[in-house]
Amino acid sequence: MKRIGILGGTFNPPHIGHLIVANEVKLALGLDEVRLMPTAVPPHKSAPGDASTAQRLRMAGLAVKNVDGLTLSAFEVERGGVSYTFDTMKQLTEIEPDVDFHFIIGGDMIDMLPKWYRIEELVTLIKFVGVRRPGAVGTTDLPIIMVDVPQIELSSTVIRNRFSKNGTVQLLIPPDVEEFIREEGLYGS
């Protein structure tokens, strides 16, 4: 049975924190691959200069293109609309019944896990993998595999702000992602 991790998010833009989490979980649990899966509809309103869904998908693909064992999944983008993790993972487990899915979440999401849509059913479909995040408690009574990863206090908001102020993003995002952002004129670059 194949063992695959899923790391969802807006990836607006993807940064090294995302890649570190995905890679460290892959190594710690011996997963065959970890898929970065951008959401179709970001949970926030778009701001001027923000990346479109297609651009976020492209950036996530560029971020993982040279990283062994990390791949891109367009599953939620292709399905479209707002989606709950339960709906996504139910469909994926039906499409790929021979895969043992590991859904990766940060400490801030662990704290909210009991309130997730159809959580009792979701924990029977997949394994949750939690990673600590600065400022989050990260505890739950639900079954979760905790993986220690190097913590870096970095967010996509920080990256967007750097671009808008013409600051450096060197070493914070993959060079191909930076080049794409500048070519597309995203985030006020």
How do residues 122-132 score in pLDDT, each as one tens digit?
999 999 999 98
Name the residue among 85, 65, 81, 67 with its Cα closest to residue 7: 85
Rounded CA separation 23/70 (Å): 7
* Contact (CB, 8 A) for 144 and 129: yes
Contact 83, 77 (CB under 8 A): no
Q: What is the mean pLDDT of the chain?
A: 91
Overall pTM > 0.75: yes
CATH homologous superfamily, domain 2-152: HUPs (3.40.50.620)
pLDDT of residue 44: 52
Which pLDDT tens digit goes with each residue over 34-65?
A: 999 999 876 555 555 689 999 999 999 999 99
Give 141-186 pLDDT, tens digit per residue: 889 999 999 988 888 999 999 999 999 999 999 999 999 999 999 9
Angle between helices 53-64 and 175-184 (to 10 degrees): 150
Most confident residue range from 40-44, 79-83, 100-104, 106-110: 100-104
Greater model confidence, 84 or 64: 64
Q: What is the band of 188 on the pLDDT scale with cuts at 50, 70, 90? A: confident
Runs of H (alpha helix) within the chain = 16-29, 53-64, 75-79, 85-95, 107-112, 119-125, 156-164, 175-184
Label residue 141 exposed, middle or buried (CB < 10 Å: 0-12, 13-18, 19+).
exposed
